[in-house]
Amino acid sequence: MPPAPTEAPAPPGQAVNADAKADAARRLRRQRRLRELGPVIGLVVLCLAGTWLNPDFATWDNAMNVLTRTAFIGIISVGMCFVIISGGIDLSVGSMAALIAGSMILVMNWVAPYVGSPLRAVLVGMVVALVLGAAFGIAHGVLIAKGRIEPFIVTLGTLGVFRAYLTYFANGGAITLDNTIADVYGPVYYASWLGVPIPIWVFAGVALLGGVLLNRTRYGRYVQAIGSNEQVARYAAVAVDRTKILTYMLLGMCVGVATVLYVPRLGSASPTTGLLWELEAIAAVIVGGTALKGGQGRILGTVIGAILLSVISNILNLTSIISVYLNAAVQGFVIIVVAFLQRGRR
Amino acid sequence: MKRRVFSAVVLAVSALATGSVRADNKMVMGVSVPTATHGWTGGVVYWAKHTAAELEKRYPGSKVIVKTAASPTEQANQIQDLHTVNKIDTLVILPFESAPLTRPVGQLKAKGVFVTVVDRGLTEASAQNAYVAGDNPGFGKVAGEYMAKAMGGKGNVVILRGIPTVIDNQRVDAFNAVMKQHPGIKVLDAKFGNWNRDDAFKVMQDYLTRFKHIDAVWASDDDMAVGVQKAIEQAKRSDIKLVVGGAGSKDYIKKVMDGDPVVTADVTYSPSMIADAMKLTAASRVKGTSMAPTTIIPSVLVTKDNASKYYFADSPF
């Protein structure tokens, strides 16, 4: 693979040993490219296997089903990618999604008679979801950055808190959206534009935005700097606390967006909503080539990671060659193999 | 003056009332159930509280204390507290898990507490005085028989299973046994939907991609039926004529009652079994009659004709 000369960042100063350095740079680049290709190779192989096992896999409708399903986890993963790059983690996203879903349904049901039309109630609900997501995110960020509590502990705590409140609001049962509102809101999940369902468009939009934010803005560079070495970033006058709070807020808003898309699907939230989403989102980010220790990561890889995870369960559902008891094992093996393909230097 | 006369009358009346049900036996009943974490346990908590009030009214002087626990350990501590602090002489318990609670419950029984175990039997039967449970094989059998009849003995069925557990195995085995008797019916596949709406939605979407003609779906749970129906709606498929859930949630009983074209029946596995257990135990304790060691609450077929009997508007489930 010939190196693209423009890509190589010129090593500052020291022109000694240029040859050896260029060589090392080339090797490093080749390694990185291989690593970036890992998840893609995994996905392609899986898709070929899926088509071979059941030709229905390769249909447009099935592809749209899988991508639409991926949208929730995918959107959350984009936010999670930022948090992990900054050296943090958020275990609460599944519970947060459940609580936001329940709260927005309650608000929509309650507000509908006052605002006049179901459409306006839905708009109010969407705003509530985004505001709640941002508020929860800011709360996490402040506790972590200003309160100096480990992100693992803060979000482990809120994981329990959020779900318990949803269960309390739902009285242990389900919170259901009124039918008139559900009819107006339904198209947000079920409708298509240019033959592609709305959630996929939103997912693509969020991913694109995330990519630009991470790679083309000062904020994105700060996030990476904090993740690779927080002390150095602090000495370099990076506003570490503010950047961290902003990062958790962004993730919270991603959860809000995902919930806005999730609620119209079933029109209800129950204590089992969003169960284990946090692990799926974290897995998508890591499978996509982001280091769990932070410092660097890729949005595109994260998107592919998320798609990869839902393709596995889709293929398992479309076939019956493997005992249903072993589904989780297949998923586990694939995750490990893909992670192996994209392993980096330690 | 007037008030004193009134209270005297009240006293006399209450003395009469307690006298009629053996004044010497004032039961203190402790009820321990898991915290409401999903629809069914939500129903259990609702029924336990509802019945506690009813029993205290029916047997004056008796006390019924309802406690919820979030883990087996918490439940074990809780029943100890019920005995030492609240001085219960009767315990009705829906154990979080059978094995870890067998010893703690056995210890209470050894101290003279009458123990009724609900739904999940203890691993050692000597630790309990009575056992009240739902009928899992019946749950699958009743659903299977109804579906076979409704389909006229032929067609394609897909199954959504719950979580890999003994309960789920018993249900599915009984269902499949009925299907074996109808060679015209083909069970296309059975996959786990984890008693969860979202997982059921995904599994059903993939069934619809995979099978071009499905006549009926045994969702085996009302929560899963919600996801199944949404997936069918989205795919705009009209070949599915029948969706049978299970457990008797109020939304699905309502559908049956209102004559839904696809949801024509439901099968009960009601959380109100805690209420039955409490009532049976209380009656036996206060009146001093003996209680059957095992009571199975049958799983009943609910159709349009009897649905109103199983619809409880106040229940969260």
Q: pLDDT value at position A344?
A: 58
CB contact under 8 A, B203 and A314: no
Decide if B229 touches A, using CB distance below 8 A. no
Interchain pair A324, B196: CB under 8 A: no
Q: What's the CA angle centered on A37, arms A36 and A41, to 5 degrees?
A: 145
Q: Residue B234: closest CA among chain A residues belongs to which residue?
A: A190
> In chain A, what residues touch B49 (CB-CB under 8 Å)?
none
Considering only CB atoms, B189 lies closest to which of A172, A320, A327, namely A320
Task: State the Cα–Cα distance between residues A203 and A76, nearest whole angstrom.
Answer: 9
Q: Collect contacts of B259-262 with beta carbons under 8 A, ≥24 apart.
A: B259/B304, B262/B229
Question: Which one of B161, B197, B250 makes the best mutation probe of the A interface by having the most chain A beta carbons within 10 Å?
Answer: B197
Q: Is B252 on the interface with A (CB under 8 A)?
A: no
Query: Do residue B202 and residue A313 have CB atoms under 8 angstroms apart?
Result: yes
> Taking the domains of chain B in order of start, what are their residue ranges?
23-134+271-297, 136-267
- Burial of A235: CB neighbours in 10 Å, binned 0-12, 13-18, 19+: exposed
- Given an 8 Å threshold on Cβ–Cβ distance, is B210 in contact with A317? yes
Return d(Cα B209, Cα B230) in angstroms, integer: 14
Domain locations in chain A as residue ranges: 57-341
Does the beta-carbon distance from A270 to B38 stay under 8 Å?
Answer: yes
Q: Which residues of B fall within a CB distance of 8 Å from A65?
A: 205-206, 209
Chain A residues closer than 8 Å to B41 by CB:
172
B251 to chain A, any CB pair closer than 8 A? The answer is yes
For A271, which of B38, B189, B226 is closest by C-beta distance?
Answer: B38
Q: Is residue B197 less than 8 Å (CB to CB) from chain A?
A: yes
B residues 20-79 near A, CB within 8 Å?
Answer: 35-39, 41-43, 45-46
Length of chain A counted residue by residue: 346
The domain defined by B23-134+271-297 folds into Rossmann fold (3.40.50)
* CA–CA min distance A54, chain B (Å): 8
Selecting from A190, A268, A314 the residue whose C-beta is nearest the C-beta of B206 gives: A314
Q: CATH fold of B136-267, please?
A: Rossmann fold (3.40.50)
State the alpha helices, DSSP H only, in chain A: 18-53, 60-85, 93-115, 118-145, 151-169, 179-185, 187-190, 198-216, 218-228, 230-235, 240-266, 277-287, 299-318, 327-341
- Phi, psi at residue B190, to the nearest 5°? -135, 115
Q: What pTM was computed for the model?
A: 0.79
Picking from A172, A273, A318, the nearest residue to B42 by CB comes out as A172
In chain A (346 residues long), the average pLDDT of successive 10-residue segments reads: 45 58 76 74 90 90 92 96 95 96 94 89 95 97 95 95 90 82 90 92 96 95 93 91 96 97 90 88 90 88 93 88 81 84 61
Strands B114-118 and B130-134: parallel
- The residue of B195, B198, B202 whose CB has the most chain A CBs within 10 angstroms, and thus the best one to mutate to test that interface, is B198
Intervals of chain B under pLDDT 70: 1-25
Residue B13 is predicted with a pLDDT of 44
Q: Which residue of B has its CA nearest to A65?
A: B205
Contact B192 A275 (CB under 8 A): no
**Token reading at A253:** 């808003």
Q: Domain A57-341 carries which CATH code?
A: 1.10.3470
Beta bridge partners of B295: B132
Of A56, A174, A317, the CB nearest to B203: A317
Q: How many angstroms away from the CA of A224 is the closest CA of chain B?
A: 35
Q: What are phi and psi of A202, to 5 degrees?
A: -65, -45
Please report the sign of the dihedral spanned by the C-alpha atoms of residue A333, residue A334, residue A339, residue A342.
positive
